[in-house]
Structure 1
Amino acid sequence: MIIKQLSETLINQIAAGEVIERPASAAKELIENAIDAGATRIEIATAGGGKTLLRVIDNGCGMTPEDLELSIRRHCTSKISTTLFDIRSLGFRGEALPSIGSVAKLTITSRPAGATAGAEISVLGGKVMPIRPAAANPGTTVEVRDLFFATPARLKFMKSEKAEAAAITELVKRMAIAFPSIRFVLSGTDRSTLELPSTGDDHLARIAQILGADFRDNAIELDAAREDVTLTGFAGVPTFNRGNSGHQYAFVNGRPVQDKQILSAIRGAYAETIPQGRYPVAVLSLSLDPELVDVNVHPAKSDVRFRDPGLVRGLIVGSIRQALQREGDRAATTSAGGMLRAFRPGYAPPPRANWQASTSPSRPFSDEWQRDAGRRQPPSSPFSFGETPQTAFSTMVQPAARAEALEVKASETEAASESSFPLGAARAQVHENYIVAQTHDGLVIVDQHAAHERLVFEQMRKALTGRRLPSQGLLIPEIVDLPEEDCDRLMTRAVDLEQLGLSVERFGPGAIAVRETPAMLGEMDVAGLIRDLADEIAEWDTADGLSARLDHVAATMACHGSVRSGRRLRVEEMNALLRQMEQTPGSGQCNHGRPTYVELKLSDIERLFGRS
C-alpha cells in the first residue's frame, strides 16, 4: 500500500514547522497560554537566545494532572468548543504544546489554586513521560530546553543568539502593551533584565514604559467608532517619528497582530506629513465582534482577515487624520536637546537619512488660543485663495503675479501683542528664506517656502475633495484602443472619472474616446493614463490611480507656486504667513513631510548662555 498513516510524533513535527518557527514563536504561545489562564504576573527567562532555554512562569489558574496529560495532545484546548466564530482568547488551536514537545525537551509543572500539591509532565522530542508529583507554587511553569534538537535542520535557519533574544524582547513588549495590568519580567544569561510593572488601567503609562517617556508628551489619544468597529489607542504627532516601522503596534480584540492592512492604513493616515524614510509611532487597538474578523488565517495567529477591510482602513485613516487636525499643529518635544547641541562648538549634523524633525512646544497652538479664536480675528492673509477650484488653479500657476499682490492690513498685526499668537510676531528675515518670530516665551524660525507650500497644497486638496475638478476640453477627442473588457470596466467608473475632470465615452466595442482631461494635469499622455486606469480598475476595482496622480500633481504645483526661497518679504507679509499657518491643520510640515518651523523656548536659550 502506498498511502500510510503518519506517526503522531511526525505529525506534531510537521505542525511545529508552522507554529514554532523560532524561539520567539514558542515564547509567544507560552505567554498567550499564561494570559488566557488569568495570570497577573508572568516571568520569562531565556538562554542562548531562547534556543538553549526558554522558561515561562505564571500565577494563573494552573492545571490538574488530568489537564496536564491532555495539554500535550494535539487539538486539546480549553479555549473553544464547537465554533471558530466566537474566539475571545489568544490561543485556541491546541497545537502549541505538542508542537514544542515534538522538537524540544518540554517540561510543564502546574498547581491549581487551592490544591495541596502540583504535578509535572515531560515530553522529550515527542516521547511523553509519565506524570509525577512535583512541588510547585500556584500557577504554571513551562520550561523548554534545546529547542529543535529533534529537528537539527531547523537549527541551521536560526539567526544569532542576539537576534533571537531581541525577537523575544520585542514580543514581550507587544504583549505588555496589550495587557497593561500584567507584570512582565524578562531575564536571562543572554540579556539584561527587563521589568515592566503593572500599570492597571493606565494604558498610556504602560506604552511609555515601552516607547519611552517622551511618547506621553507627543501622543494624541484616539477614540472613534464606525458601525460595529471601535478604535482606541494613541498616535504620535508627525514630527515624533522613527527610522523604521518597529514602533507601530496594532491589536485586534486584545491580540497583538502584524497585519499589513493595518500598517498600510497607518502609512496612509500620515501621508504628506512625514518625510520619506521616516515612520510614525502609533499604538492602535481595534475592538469588534469576533464574528467580523478571522484570526485563524495562519497558525501563528499574527495575521487577521476582516469581513469589511474597507471599513477598518477608513476608520484608522479617518480617526488619525481627524485627531491630528483636532490637536492642531503639534510638533515633537524631543528635539530641543538636539537643537541646543547644534549651537555648540564642534557639532556635526547627522546624515540626512537619520535626521529628526523639528522641535516646538507640545501644544504650540494651545487650548487657550483655540478657545479665544472667536474673539480674536487674525489679520487678513495675502496667501488665501478664492473658493472655486478654478481660482485656486489660476492662482497657483501664476506665482509671480500673486507674490506681487501680497497685501495685508499691517495695523492689525502691529496692534497684536507678541503673546497673542502661537507663532508670535515676525522680527526678521534671515538669508531671504527664514522668518524669525518672537513669541511670549521664546522664538520661532519658519522656512517660508516650506510653510507656504503646505498652505497652498491644503487649498488645492480642498478643491480635490469638493466640487468637480476643472477640466480642459480636447480639440480633437483622443481615441484609445483597449480590449473590450477594459472598456467595460472604465465605463462602469465613468461617473467617478467625470468628477475628477476626466470625461470618457464608449467609441465602439474596443475603444474609448477621451473628450476632457483634468486641467491640473496640463499636457499629458492621455492614452497612457487611460491604460493605467484600466489596469488598476481590473486589479483593484478602484479609480484611485487618477486621484493619486492628481494629489501628486497638486503637491508639485504647490511647490512651484509658493513663496520661493530667496524672496525678501515685508514684515506684514511675514506676519500674514504666520497667521495663516496658525489656521491651517498640518502646517507644521510641508507636503513632503519636512518641518516648516522650529521653536526654542526662552529657557532653552538661557541654557545656551549658562543663565539657568
Structure 2
Amino acid sequence: MNKIRLLSPRLANQIAAGEVVERPASVIKELLENSLDAGAKQLQVDIEQGGVKLMRVRDDGGGIDKEDLTLALSRHATSKIYHLDDLEAVSSLGFRGEALASISSVSRLSLTSSTGGDCAWQAQAEGREMNTEIAPAAHPRGTTVEVRDLFFNTPARRKFLRTERTEYGRIEEVVKRLALSRFDVGISLRHNGRQIHAYAAADDQARRERRVAQICGPEFIKNSLAIDMERVGLRLWGWVALPAFSRSQADLQHFFVNGRAIRDKLVSHAVRQAFQDVLHHSRHPAFVLYLELDPASVDVNVHPTKHEVRFRDSRMVHDFLFKSLHHALAEVRPAAAVAEAAVPIESPSGLAVGEFAGQASMDLRAQPPRELSLSSPAPASLFSPNLPRPSERVSLSAAEQVAAYGRLQPAPEPSSNEPEEIPPLGFAIAQLKGIYILAENAAGLVVVDMHAAHERITYERLKQTVDASGVQAQPLLVPEAIAVSEGEADIAEQQTEVFSQLGFELQRSGPEAITIRQIPVMLANGNAEALVRDVLSDLTTYGTSQRIKEHMNEILATMACHGSVRANRRLTLAEMNALLRDMEATERSGQCNHGRPTWVQQTLVELDKLFMRGQ
C-alpha cells in the first residue's frame, strides 16, 4: 500500500474542476451566477472560438475589495455563506467557493474588480496557485473575469471538447436560461466580435413576454397560457404552452426554483401527469415556469453543478405543481382563444362578419337560424341524456353509460330571451364529408372534428359521474398475495385510506408481503399486482401516485370513444350547434382524449391571405 498523503492544492483544484468545469459553458454559468450574486444589473459576455480561446464576463455589481482578491481565487472561500444555518437556507446561486479556484487551475485567468473608488485592482492565475501580487488597474464599479486558453495544461480534457459551433451553442443556451431566470437584468452576448443577443431589462409583463418570445420563439408565447398561482407558501408562475403547441422532444422546458434553473424528476413527473389527459403520448409539453418557496424548504447542495435540488416536502410540492397546472389547463375554453383571434366587424378585406364571398350577407348576430339551440347559463345539451345530477349517487354499467352519453336528444325550443352575441365557437353552417362541422364565429371560420369533440365531452361527463358516485369495487374470490420490500409494505400499510378511496383493499400479511382483497370493478380484467407495484413505486419516489386514476381514465376514455358520434353520421344544424355549446362549457375541450386538437380557427385575415385579397 502507498503512503497516505495530502493532495497538493493544484491537484485538488483540478479534481474539483473536473466536477465544476466540464466545458466552456460550465465556466460561463459559474461566472454569470457570481455576477448575479454580486447584485449586477448589466452583464456583458464576450466569447472567442467557442470559449476555448477567450471567455470574458463583465458586470456592474458590487465589486471585490483589494484585500479579498487573493481569497476570491482560493478554494472554499466565499462571501455567500458563513455559518451552517446559511447552508440550510441558501438564497444565492453560488455558495461553495470552488468555481474561481477550479477555473483558474485549468486556464489563464484574470480577475479585475472595483468597489466604486478611484482605483481598481487586478489578480492573475495561470494553472497553478494564484500569484500573490495584486496590481492596480482601470475599471468602473463591478468585476471583469477573463478566462483564456481553457484546459491548456490538461490536454486530455481539451481533446474531448466538441467543435467551436457546438461549444458556443451550449454557451448560448446557458445565457438564454439565465436571461429567463432574471428578467430584471440586461444581458448582451458577443461571439468572435459579433453581437449575437442583447436582452434589455424587463420590468413589466409585456417586456417579460417579449424576452420569452426572443428566447423561446414568438409562437411559444402566442400559444401559451400565463399562470400565477399561490398556496401554502408556494408560488408557481410563468407560461405553459397549450397542448396543441406540444413538441416532439423535451427541448422547450425551463423550470426555475427560486431563480435557479434545475432539472428534477419530481417536477417532470408532476408536469407530465398534469398533461396526461390532453397530450398525445409521443409529444412533450413546453413551458417556462418559476417555483418560489422558502429557501429552507429546498436543498440545493445536492450536486456540484447545482442542476438538481431536493425538496423537504416533495409530496406537497408535487401535488401543488400537478393541481396548479391541471387546473390551469382545465380552465382553457374556446372563448379565450377566440377572443384573441377576433377581429372588428369590418375586416381588412371589407367583408362583414357573417358574409362569405359569392353568398348573400347573413349577420348571425341579428338572425340566428330558427333551429339553433342557444344555451342558457345551464344549457340542456342535445348530447346530454337525463342522467342524475353529480350530487346523486349512481351506478351505471359500462354499456349503460356509453349508450346514455352517446344518445342524441331532441332540440329544446329557443327561449324568448335568447342572447344576441355570437358564442365563442359561433353557429354551425354546414357539415363536411360527415366528419367536420363548419361554423362561423366573430373571428371567421371554425372547423370542428365532431367525433373528437364529442369524445372529449362524453369522457369528461363519465369522469364526473364516477367522481360523484364513487369507485365501485368488488372483493376477490381468492385474495392475491404479493411479495414486496419492507419499505413498500410499510407504505401500503400507511396509505390504506388512499388505496381504499380508489377501490383497492390491501392488507399487510407479513414483513415483506401484502394481500390484495378488493379491486375496482373497472379494473377487473387488468393486472392488479402490476398496478399495485407501480403505485407503491410512485409513492416511494414521489410521495404520490395517479396510476390507478390514469388506468381508470383510460377505460373511461375507451368507453367515451365508443359512445361518441361517428364519422359519416349526418347531424342537423341544431345537433351541430348543441355540440358547439357543449364544447364551450366543457373542460379541456380543445383536445380529444388522445391529445389531438378538436377544433381550429381560421380568421378572416388568414382566409384573405389564402385568396390574396387586398394584395
What TM bracket, shorter-length normalisation? 0.7 to 0.9
SS at match of 1:412: coil
1:312 corresponds in structure 2 to 317
Q: 1:126 to 1:500 in 2, by over 3 A?
A: same
In the TM superposition, residue 205 of structure 1 has moved relative to its aligned partner by: 3.4
Structure 2 counterpart of 1:272:
277
Amino acid in structure 2 at the alignment position of 1:137: P
Paired with 2:320 and 2:541, the residues of 1 have a C-alpha distance of 23
Structure 2 partner of 1:121: 123
Q: Which moved more, 1:502-511 or 1:167-176?
A: 502-511
Determine the C-alpha separation between the residues in 2 that align with 1:61 and 1:213: 35
Aligned to 1:360: none
Residue 10 of structure 2 corresponds to 9
User: Aligned partner of 1:596: which letter?
Assistant: T
Segments of structure 1 that go 5 or more residues without pairing to the other structure are 337-372
Alpha-carbon separation, structure 2, partners of 1:29 and 1:379: 61
Shift of 1:277: 3.1
**Separation in structure 1 between the aligned mates of residue 289 and residue 162 of structure 2, nearest angstrom:** 30
1:98-247 equivalent positions in 2, closer than 5 A: 98-113=101-116, 115-129=117-131, 130-189=133-192, 193-202=196-205, 203-247=208-252
Question: Mean Cα displacement is larger for which, 563-572 or 587-596?
Answer: 563-572
Written as runs of structure 1 = structure 2, the 5 A alignment for 1:403-422 is 403=406, 405-409=407-411, 411-412=413-414, 419-422=421-424
Amino acid at match of 1:597: W
Distance verdict in 2 for CA 1:306–1:585, change over 3 Å: same
SS at match of 2:251: helix
Q: What amino acid maps onto 2:45 in structure 1?
A: I
Preserved CA contact (<8 Å) 1:181 1:201: no
Note the alpha carbon deviations across 1:265-322, whole angstroms, 9 max, x for none. 2222222222233332322222222111111111211211111111112222212222
Q: In the alignment, is the contact (CA less than 8 A) between 2:531 and 2:547 conserved in 1?
A: no
Aligned to 2:480: 480
Post-superposition Cα deviations, 1:100-149, rounded to whole Å, max 9, x if no partner, equal 00011111122221x22222211111242322222223321111111112
Determine helix, strand or coil for the equivalent of 2:244.
Answer: coil
How far the C-alpha of 1:443 sits from its partner, in A, is 1.6
Shift of 1:532: 5.9
Answer yes or no: is the 8 Å Cα contact 1:453–1:562 preserved in 2.
yes
Aligned pair in 2 of structure 1 residues 269, 541: CA closer, same or farther (>3 Å)?
closer
Q: What is residue 76 of structure 1 aligned with on the other side?
A: 77
When residues 593 and 535 of structure 1 are mapped into structure 2, their CA distance, relative to the original with a 3 A threshold, is: closer
Q: 2:609 aligns with which of 603, 607, 610?
A: 607
Flag the 1:481–1:431 CA change in 2: closer, same or farther, 3 A: same
CA contact (8 A) 1:453 1:590 kept: yes
Two-structure CA RMSD over aligned residues (Å): 3.3
CA–CA separation in structure 1 for the residues paired with 2:513 and 2:212 = 57
Change (3 A) 1:148 1:453: same
d(CA) in 2 for partners of 1:514 and 1:552? Answer: 22
Correspondence for 2:444: 442
Once the two structures are TM-superposed, the CA of residue 511 in structure 1 deviates from its matched residue by: 8.2
Give SS of 1:501's match. Answer: coil
In structure 2, the residue matched to 1:297 is 302
Match in the other structure for 1:572: 574
- Partner Cα separation in structure 2 for residue 375 and residue 453 of structure 1: 23
CA deviations over 1:450-504 (Å, ceiling 9, x no partner): 1111112212333454442123466xx0232434867776555444333323345
| Rounded Cα–Cα distance in structure 2 between residues aligned with 1:7 and 1:142 | 25
Distance 1:197 1:487 in 2: 55
Q: Distance in 2 between matches of 1:31 and 1:539?
A: 33
Name which of structure 1's ranges 172-181 and 580-589 shifts more when overlaid on structure 2.
172-181
The 3-state SS of whatever aligns with 1:280 is coil
> Is the 8 Å Cα contact of residues 46 and 55 (structure 2) preserved in structure 1?
yes
Cα gap change, 1:266/1:435 in structure 2, threshold over 3 Å: closer, same or farther?
same
CA distance in structure 1 between the aligned counterparts of 2:570 and 2:26, rounded to whole angstroms: 60
Which digits, 9 at most, give the CA deviation of each residue in 1:148-173, with x for residues without a partner? 12222222332322221111111111
Partners of 1:39 and 1:332 in 2: how far apart? 42
For 1:63 and 1:489, locate their aligned partners in 2 and report how far apart those are by CA, in whole Å: 52
| Partner secondary structure for residue 237 of structure 2 | strand
What is the aligned partner in structure 1 of residue 501 from structure 2? Answer: 499
Alignment of 1:522-533 (within 5 A): 522-525=524-527
Matched letter for residue 456 of structure 2: R
Deviations 1:313-333 (A, max 9, x none): 222221222223344345599
Which range is displaced more, 410-419 or 562-571? 410-419
Going from structure 1 to structure 2, the CA distance change for 1:594 and 1:28 (only over 3 Å counts) comes to: same
Post-superposition offset of 1:596: 0.3
* Counterpart AA for 1:554: L
Distance in structure 2 (CA, Å) of the matches to 1:530 and 1:215: 38
2:568, 2:14 → 1: CA distance? 68
- The offset of 1:391, in angstroms, is 5.7
> Does the residue aligned with 1:245 lie in a helix, a strand or coil?
coil
Distance in 2, matches of 1:162 and 1:156, equals 15
Match of 2:348 in 1: none
Q: Which moved more, 1:379-388 or 1:85-94?
A: 379-388
Amino acid at match of 1:112: T
C-alpha contact 1:46 1:53 (8 A) present in aligned 2: yes
**Matches of 1:535 and 1:280, distance apart in 2:** 24
CA gap of 1:438–1:378, structure 2 versus 1, over 3 A, is farther
Find the aligned partners of 1:155 and 1:333 in 2 and give their Cα distance: 55
Query: Residue 427 of structure 1 aligns to a residue in which SS?
Result: strand
Q: Aligned equivalents of 1:92 and 1:33: distance in 2?
A: 9
Q: 2:455 aligns with which of 449, 453, 456?
A: 453
TM-score (norm. length: structure 1): 0.84
Distance in 2, Cα, partners of 1:544 & 1:417: 42
Q: Which piece of structure 1 moves more, 570-579 or 294-303?
A: 570-579
Find the residue that maps to 1:128 and give its secondary structure: coil
Q: Is the 8 A contact 1:379 1:412 kept in 2?
A: no
Report the counterpart of residue 60 of structure 2 in structure 1: 59
1:546 maps to what in 2? 548
Three-state SS of the structure 2 residue aligned to 1:496 is: helix
Question: For 1:239, what is the secondary structure of its paired residue?
Answer: helix
Distance 1:529 1:75 in 2: 48
Check the 8 A contact 2:492/2:508 in 1, yes or no.
Answer: no
Q: Is the 8 A contact 1:237 1:332 kept in 2?
A: no
**Aligned AA (1:96):** A
Q: Is the 8 A contact 1:496 1:543 kept in 2?
A: no
**Where does residue 96 of structure 1 map in the other structure?**
99
Q: Structure 1 residues 459-468 or 14-23, which shifts more? A: 459-468
* Residues 160 and 254 of structure 1: CA distance in aligned 2, closer, same or farther (over 3 Å): same
Partner AA of 2:139 in structure 1? A
Matching residue of 2:49: 48
Q: Which amino acid aligns with 1:445?
A: V
Aligned to 1:583: 585
Structure 1 residues 78 and 489: alpha-carbon distance in aligned structure 2, compared to 1, 3 A threshold: closer
Q: Please state how far the C-alpha of 1:17 moved relative to its aligned partner.
A: 0.8
* Matches of 2:540 and 2:247, distance apart in 1: 36
Worse-superposed segment, 551-560 or 450-459? 551-560
Whole-Å separation in 1 of the counterparts to 2:179 and 2:462: 43
Distance in 1 between the 2:506 and 2:587 partners? Answer: 35
Aligned to 1:370: none
Aligned length: 572
Tell me whether 27-36 or 310-319 shows the greater mean CA deviation.
Answer: 310-319
Q: CA deviation at 1:235?
A: 2.1
Asked if 2 retains the 8 angstrom alpha-carbon contact of 1:479 and 1:511, the reply is no
Aligned to 1:469: 471
